[in-house]
Structure 1
Amino acid sequence: MNKTKLFLPLLLLLSGCSNFLDVQPVLQVDEQRAITSANTAEVALNGLYNRLGNDNYYGSNFPALSYLSGGDIQWTGSQGAPQEITARKLTADNGYVSQAWQGIYQTILAANYLLEAVPKLTDPLLTDARKGQIQGEALAIRALAYFDLARGWGGVQLVLKPTRTAADNTGIARSSLADTYAQVLADLTAAEPLLTATTNRNRVTRKTVWALRARYHLYRQEWEQADAYATKLIDDATNYKLVKPYSAFFANNAVNTTESVFELAYSNSFKNGHYNWWLPPALSGRREWAPNAQLVTLLNNPAIGGNRSAVIGQTAAPGNLWYGKLYYRTPTGTDPAYLIRIAEVYLIRAEARAKLAKPADALADLNTVRSRADLTALTSTTTPSTDAILLAIENERRLEFAFETDRWFDLIRTGRVATVLGITDANKYVFPIPTSEILADKALTQNKGY
């Protein structure tokens, strides 16, 4: 990590929170002034969510790495960095990569501040239960951040304490991929008992942790655990269920539907950057990310895409340009970012059950998602083998999450990227460590092939 870049005043980590402290134009801050009370702890927690939704992280750059790598999204602009990604010529100097890396580590550092400071506070307005809740949210968000680093870059440096000076947290060797994932599990395990089992679609609760656990165990090929944690959410049908039609979770300015397990909220003062890249100029965007012809054809085929064609639109003649409609709202930039939906949880369980040799159960979960999309049910006749079921799940995920952070990582974790995209160099299955980070810390080594 570039400690000069990532050692930031806490207030810079808490964008939009300068009303309780003046921003200091230096790279150090007196932490005793930062998180010293119940009020400042809550402000710091809000800042942590802002970090998670920042343009460098889920607000734009990290999802873009998956979009542009996954083969279904084309780049229509002139900038070099995204062109490198779509052309399979990614370098360690790529701006998308470095900004996403920084955004994720800045989120980790914001979580670390909370995890160190909150247990020590003695404010009578901050109960032990509330302290636990704040720590649980910070742990879960740190777990998500390390999960994203692991699936994007492999094993990384595990920074578990605040960074207050440029010398702090330097000299840490990269952990193995297994140890990085172990840290994810440790944080999720520690978070779960601290959190309440309530339903809150914009904040981390125990139920959010269950969903993250289901995804984690899927990636680790721990099928029974993936099944068990997915079932916890699916069985809570009062609070989590698919909405119909497919577009109902995002169309007509919908927010926090029963579809959503965890979505990030945005506003006029804290914008989601996706609209700028997906929408055409006529709708106040730049349309530099766009569905390619193959994806458009699949989505528009009622026998394959079902009613999911609602997620794309086309400009009027003479342009007739296809664009993504998931991020579209007025005022611009107020769209949620969808981190986990119950559709994903169903497909996690379907995949786990297929791997556990439970084909009928796997098809039942898969068909639940297909039914919502107005697609015919698959049967043991149409999908007679485990491999056929797994391929059907892969194809369903491709269209269900066409404009979410999914496709590239799915192809990598299932070992299908060479077959589907023709990328046979395994070194390219992870992103490069940014050159600036390598130069800043001699203990940080580059991924092979970069």
Structure 2
Amino acid sequence: MKKAYILPLCALALLASCDDFLQKEPLTSITPNNFFTSGDDAESSITAVYDALQGAGAYGQDLFTMGEMPSDNTTSVSNDVNALETIAWTPNTSQVGNVFRQAYLGINRANIVLKYVPTITMDTLRRSQIQGEARFVRALCYFNLVRAYGGVPLRLEPTETAQPSELNLPRATPEQVYEQVVTDLQKAAIQMPPTAASNLNRATKNSANALLARVQVTQRNWAAAQAAAGKVIAANIQLNNSFRALFPAENKGAESLFEIQFAGTPDGGNLLPDEILPFPLTTYSFSKFNLPTAELIAYADTVNDQRWSYVGNVVNSAGKFLGRNHVSYIDSRKNQAISSSNSAINDRGNFPYKWTSSGNNFNSIDNSYVLRYAEVLLNYAEAVNEQNGPSTDALAKLNLVRQRAGLAALTMGSAQAASKQALRNEIDRQRRLELAFEGERWWDLLRYARHNQVEAGAHTVTALDLIAQFRKGARDVNYLLFPLPQAEINNNPQLQQNPGY
């Protein structure tokens, strides 16, 4: 997040991971007792919680590569993401470790807020809101952990000593972690305001309920998912009129329910655009991540679907043609011959175009969406269909997403609504086309695989199909979880590795 107030909190001994270059008072003179004394201190502490979501191990890079690279959406020849691309990750794969560590950084900072902010004398409403925001971020971090690794240590108090008894916790069960996530989101929804009109950088009641709907869909708790999504829908949120206008994010419209803020500075910039866009949109040329697969481009309707249709050429400030903008992706100089005077092979072909800012030495100003209203509508439609099959209620929500994309509304007489399975397939399709490159495809494929284990054939493509493609035909269920990082196993004798690693 933008880092207006982060320095005082980073000085605390409680945040042992803060950077050495921060020149503040000696740690021995700053304690919880003399820091958490005012409303400004509380605001600084919650800013630090949001800041943890910005890191390379979170939404600044690795959550998007981990959520897309193993899937059928994207590909790459970059060695940096080869283990994710080929489903060959190990306990020592960098992204596996980065995501785990960054999530616990956010959790620890949230725990600090939840322990110390309640003791501050300040505006009582704002104090309650700050606690709700901390619970939301803690829930988001634990949800990202549990769907990636399964059961993880459930730490609900700040780490304040180096005692092994405090540091080395055993793994909770997945059910226990999910229970805590749901509890935190339910409490956060009560404490936070419905909207963030005064500060668009903050999570809100709608953010909490939107995330709760995603959590419940992941667990196949269909009635609970419908209820959570229904609360957001009842708040009269609207989709942006134009899908194209959503990107880059930058708090555009009520559809944005939560996004990661980036200031475009060396300590507050977004790494991802430089890693997925071609040069000269970015700082320099190299093999990029998250490139759209040929299968995904063929799957999309690049003529009629306004999320994927051609809307005009991308031209830089010097008037040089850089590619064709298809809204979700850029067709970059595809038909130009390679020569010493134009693009290298790295910069030809298809690239995601939901982040569009020019290179800034890996410090883009582009925000990244975590939660959009379109997904809430799709979650609601899925939950209703899974309970009762096709209905006008499910179609009404699905049609909002389809019609914004320029596609015809479905009716109960449409082929896509002929059965629960037909509508399930259509919802799966719209999720893929709507949310492509936004870091959710692999997690969807994982939950589809688990759904198929309960109801054979429920989803036509799942993570196990991709796993079999790269694991010599073996539909190895062990790869439905990432391994725990080896460094964590080495440091904590109470941790047991996931099967198969």
Q: Is the structural similarity TM-score above 0.5?
A: yes
1:294 maps onto 2:295 in alignment: yes
1:351 maps onto 2:382 in alignment: yes
1:327 maps onto 2:355 in alignment: yes
1:244 to 241, 244, 261: 241
Name the SS for the 1:283 alignment partner.
coil
1:190 to 187, 192, 198: 187
1:88 CA drift (Å)? 1.3
1:385 maps onto 2:386 in alignment: no
TM-aligned CA distance change 1:91 to 1:331, over 3 Å: closer
Structure 1 window deviating more from structure 2 (137-146 vs 331-340): it is 331-340
Report the Cα distance in structure 2 between the residues aligned to 1:93 and 1:437, rounded to whole angstroms: 10
Report the Cα distance in structure 1 between the residues aligned to 2:56 and 2:257, rounded to whole angstroms: 21
Structure 1 window deviating more from structure 2 (205-214 vs 145-154): it is 205-214
TM-aligned CA distance change 1:246 to 1:406, over 3 Å: same
Name the SS for the 2:193 alignment partner.
coil
Alpha-carbon displacement from aligned partner over 1:195-251 (angstroms, at most 9, x marks no partner): 2223454211222111122112211222122112212222333xx211232111115
Report the Cα distance in structure 1 between the residues aligned to 2:242 and 2:252, rounded to whole angstroms: 16
1:263 CA drift (Å)? 1.2
Q: Give the structure-2-normalised TM-score.
A: 0.80
1:139 CA drift (Å)? 0.8
Match of 1:102 in 2: 101
1:306 CA drift (Å)? 5.3
1:18 CA drift (Å)? 5.0
> Which one-letter code corresponds to 2:49 in the other structure?
L
> Which one-letter code corresponds to 1:352 in the other structure?
A
Structure 1 window deviating more from structure 2 (225-234 vs 90-99): it is 225-234
Report the Cα distance in structure 2 between the residues aligned to 1:229 and 1:236, rounded to whole angstroms: 11
The 8 Å contact of residues 11 and 18 in structure 1, kept in 2 or not, is answered as no
Report the Cα distance in structure 2 between the residues aligned to 1:110 and 1:163, rounded to whole angstroms: 9
1:272 CA drift (Å)? 1.4
Name the SS for the 1:340 alignment partner.
strand
Report the Cα distance in structure 2 between the residues aligned to 1:421 and 1:191, rounded to whole angstroms: 36
Match of 2:223 in 1: 224
The 8 Å contact of residues 14 and 47 in structure 1, kept in 2 or not, is answered as no
Name the SS for the 1:414 alignment partner.
helix
Match of 2:161 in 1: 165
TM-aligned CA distance change 1:304 to 1:23, over 3 Å: farther
TM-aligned CA distance change 1:23 to 1:273, over 3 Å: farther
TM-aligned CA distance change 1:305 to 1:90, over 3 Å: farther
> Which one-letter code corresponds to 2:384 in the other structure?
R
Number of aligned residue pairs: give it: 433
1:135 maps onto 2:134 in alignment: no
Name the SS for the 2:209 alignment partner.
helix
1:29 CA drift (Å)? 7.1
The 8 Å contact of residues 96 and 483 in structure 2, kept in 1 or not, is answered as yes
1:405 maps onto 2:439 in alignment: yes
Correspondence 1:46-61 to 2 at 5 A: 46-61=47-62
Match of 1:4 in 2: none
Q: Which runs of 5+ in 1 are unaligned?
A: 1-7
Report the Cα distance in structure 2 between the residues aligned to 1:189 and 1:296, rounded to whole angstroms: 39
Match of 1:367 in 2: 399
The 8 Å contact of residues 135 and 188 in structure 2, kept in 1 or not, is answered as yes
Report the Cα distance in structure 2 between the residues aligned to 1:417 and 1:358, rounded to whole angstroms: 21
Alpha-carbon displacement from aligned partner over 1:73-104 (angstroms, at most 9, x marks no partner): 1123233xx10111111100000110111111
Report the Cα distance in structure 2 between the residues aligned to 1:387 and 1:179, rounded to whole angstroms: 31
1:263 to 242, 259, 262: 259
Match of 2:497 in 1: 446
Alpha-carbon displacement from aligned partner over 1:4-63 (angstroms, at most 9, x marks no partner): xxxx945676789958x3486x9x974445433322221111111111122211111122
The 8 Å contact of residues 307 and 327 in structure 2, kept in 1 or not, is answered as no
Structure 1 window deviating more from structure 2 (95-104 vs 166-175): it is 166-175
Structure 1 window deviating more from structure 2 (297-306 vs 38-47): it is 297-306
Q: Give the structure-1-normalised TM-score.
A: 0.89
The 8 Å contact of residues 217 and 379 in structure 2, kept in 1 or not, is answered as yes
> Which one-letter code corresponds to 2:129 in the other structure?
Q
Match of 1:280 in 2: 278
1:112 CA drift (Å)? 0.7
